[in-house]
């Protein structure tokens, strides 16, 4: 195992044991790794840093909600990159891009764990979403949870397409802040 793998795994195990400080550090470090990963993938298909940042927030949220499913007997980074890969594929599907447009063939991504939220985690996300302003909540639910396009979400939420994008971006940041608050308790 590499040194970053050892450090990240130690933080994940402490996080699973309820160490809020370790959990915050883990999410911060993973955010840096995921940001570089998504920027590298998205630049190849002409996508921007805003989309990469949205994907980082989605992946970090999924990691937070699914950390209880991580098996301590396994390496951490393949589990994390499996989640990141699924988030990227979901993004490409939502945006009508082809998965073939992005090379996703790194060996460390092959080990995949199920990224779907369980009932408890889904309820947790819905509870957190209820704390957001209505337009933000509507945009996130429409695009990120219901899989609608930005145009479809704009119609549903009765806001412009750019308003949907801004609300998603700001809403994901607000959700990350809410999660950080909860892990500090």
**Top-confidence range, 25-34, 36-45, 93-102:** 25-34
Interval 123-166: pLDDT, tens: 466 777 888 899 999 998 888 877 788 899 999 999 999 999 99
Are 12 and 26 in contact by the 8 Å Cβ rule? The answer is yes
Residue 21 in tokens: 């400080």
Question: φ, ψ for residue 34 (rounded to 5)?
Answer: -65, -35
| Distance of alpha carbon 145 from alpha carbon 141, whole angstroms | 5
When the pLDDT of each residue in the chain is averaged and rounded to a whole number, the result is 79
């Amino acid at each position: 195992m590499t040194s970053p793998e050892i450090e990240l795994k130690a933080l994940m195990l402490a996080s699973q044991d309820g160490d809020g400080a370790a959990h915050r550090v883990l999410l911060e470090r993973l955010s840096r790794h995921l940001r570089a990963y998504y920027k590298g993938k998205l630049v190849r298909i002409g996508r921007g840093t805003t989309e990469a940042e949205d994907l980082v927030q989605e992946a970090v949220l999924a990691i937070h909600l699914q950390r209880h499913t991580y098996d301590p007997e396994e390496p951490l980074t393949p589990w994390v990159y499996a989640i990141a890969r699924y988030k990227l594929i979901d993004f490409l599907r939502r945006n009508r891009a082809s998965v073939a447009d992005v090379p996703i063939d790194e060996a460390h991504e092959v080990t995949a764990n199920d990224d779907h939220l369980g009932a408890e985690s889904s309820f947790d996300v819905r509870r957190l979403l209820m704390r957001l302003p209505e337009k933000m909540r509507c945009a996130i639910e429409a695009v990120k949870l219901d899989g609608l396009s930005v145009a479809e979400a704009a119609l549903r939420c009765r806001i412009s397409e750019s308003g949907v994008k801004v609300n998603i971006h700001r809403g994901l940041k607000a959700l990350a802040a809410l999660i950080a608050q909860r892990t500090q308790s």
